[in-house]
Structure 1
Amino acid sequence: MKFTLSWLKEHLDTDASLEQICERLTAIGLEVEDVDDKAAYKPFVIAKILSAEKHPEADRLKVLSVDAGDGKPVQIVCGAPNARAGLVGALARPGTYVPGIDVTLSVGKIRGVESHGMMCSEKELNMSDNHDGIIDLPDDAPVGTSFASYAGLDDPVIEINLTPNRPDCTSIYGIARDLAASGLGT
C-alpha cells in the first residue's frame, strides 16, 4: 500500500519526522518497503525568462537570459516553441538530474553558444507526457523558490507491505490509528 506523508498527517497529529514514522511503522509490523522522499525534485527552481533571442546558428533555437532569483542572469539555449520573455517556469541548473529524460545536466555548447541549464517541460519532470513546451507558470509564481514545493511534488511517498493478518491497516485511517496507539501521535 502506498500513501503520502501529508495524507497520513491528515489523520495523525504528530511532529515525528519521515524517518521516525518509517521506523515506527516497521516496529509495529507494517514493513516499510520503499520511501520516495522526492529528493530528485529539490534542485528545480522557479525562474523567469528575461529575454529570448534567436540563436545565431539555428532556426528553431533561442538563447534565453533567465532570472533564477539570485540576481545573476543565466544563459540557456532552448528549443521550446513557447520560450518567450516574461514566461515563468521550472529551471534545472548544471549538475541537476532530470528524471524524465534520465540525464544529469552539465554546462555545454549548443551550436557554438554556451548553455547553463534548461527550462523544463512537464515530461522532463515526470509530471505528464506533455513535451510541447516548457512549463508555463502564472506570472505571480515566486521566482527563486523551490518548484517542487510550489507544484506539490515534494510530498514523500511511503510504501508498506501489508500481510493478510493486518486488514485493519488497509486504510490510511487504520495506519494512523496504529501509529497513535504506539505513542507516535494522536
Structure 2
Amino acid sequence: MKFTLSWLKEHLDTEASLTAILEGLTKVGLEVEGVEDPAEKLGAFRIARVLSAAPHPQADKLQILSVDPGEGEPLQIVCGAPNARAGLIGVLGQPGDYVPGLDVTLKI
C-alpha cells in the first residue's frame, strides 16, 4: 500500500520526523518497503522569471526570451508559447533535464 507522509501524519496526529515514523511503524510490526520523494525527481527544474520577450527575426510564431534562472547570468531562450511575456514566472527546464512522468529528456 502506498500513501503520503502528510496523510499519515494527519491520521496519526503527529509532527514527528519521517525517521521517527518509520521506526515506530517497524516497532509495531509494519514493514516499510520503501520511501519515495517525488520532488527529488524534479530537482533540476527551477523557477525562473522572463525579463524580456522579443519577436524572433526568422520565425513569426517564436519569441526570444531573456530569462532570469534565479542564479547566474540571464539565459536567452527561444520559445513558441504565445503567452510568453516579460514578468511571467514559470518553471525552467534546460537541455539534459529529465521530465518524470513523460519519460523524456529535454534536448535542443
TM-score, normalized by length of structure 1? 0.47
Q: Which digits, 9 at most, give the CA deviation of each residue in 1:114-167, with x for residues without a partner?
A: xxxxxxxxxxxxxxxxxxxxxxxxxxxxxxxxxxxxxxxxxxxxxxxxxxxxxx
Alignment of 1:61-100 (within 5 A): 61-100=62-101
Counting matched residue pairs gives 105
Letter matched to residue 82 of structure 2 = P
- With over 3 angstroms needed to count, the CA separation of the structure-2 counterparts of 1:34 and 1:79, relative to structure 1, is farther
Match of 2:17 among 10, 15, 18: 15
Letter matched to residue 65 of structure 2 = L
Displacement of 1:28 in angstroms is 3.7
- Measure, in 2, the Cα distance between the counterparts of 1:80 and 1:51: 14
SS in 2 for 1:35: coil
- Measure, in 2, the Cα distance between the counterparts of 1:15 and 1:99: 27
Alignment of 1:136-155 (within 5 A): none
Structure 1, unpaired ranges of 5+:
109-186
After superposition, the CA RMSD in angstroms is: 2.4
- Measure, in 2, the Cα distance between the counterparts of 1:102 and 1:43: 15
- With over 3 angstroms needed to count, the CA separation of the structure-2 counterparts of 1:101 and 1:78, relative to structure 1, is farther
Displacement of 1:35 in angstroms is 3.4
Structure 2, unpaired ranges of 5+:
none
Q: Which residue pairs with 2:36 in the alignment?
A: 36
- Measure, in 1, the Cα distance between the counterparts of 2:29 and 2:76: 52
Q: Identity rate of aligned residues, in percent?
A: 61
Letter matched to residue 4 of structure 1 = T
The higher-RCO structure (CA 8 Å, 6+ apart) is 1
Letter matched to residue 75 of structure 1 = Q
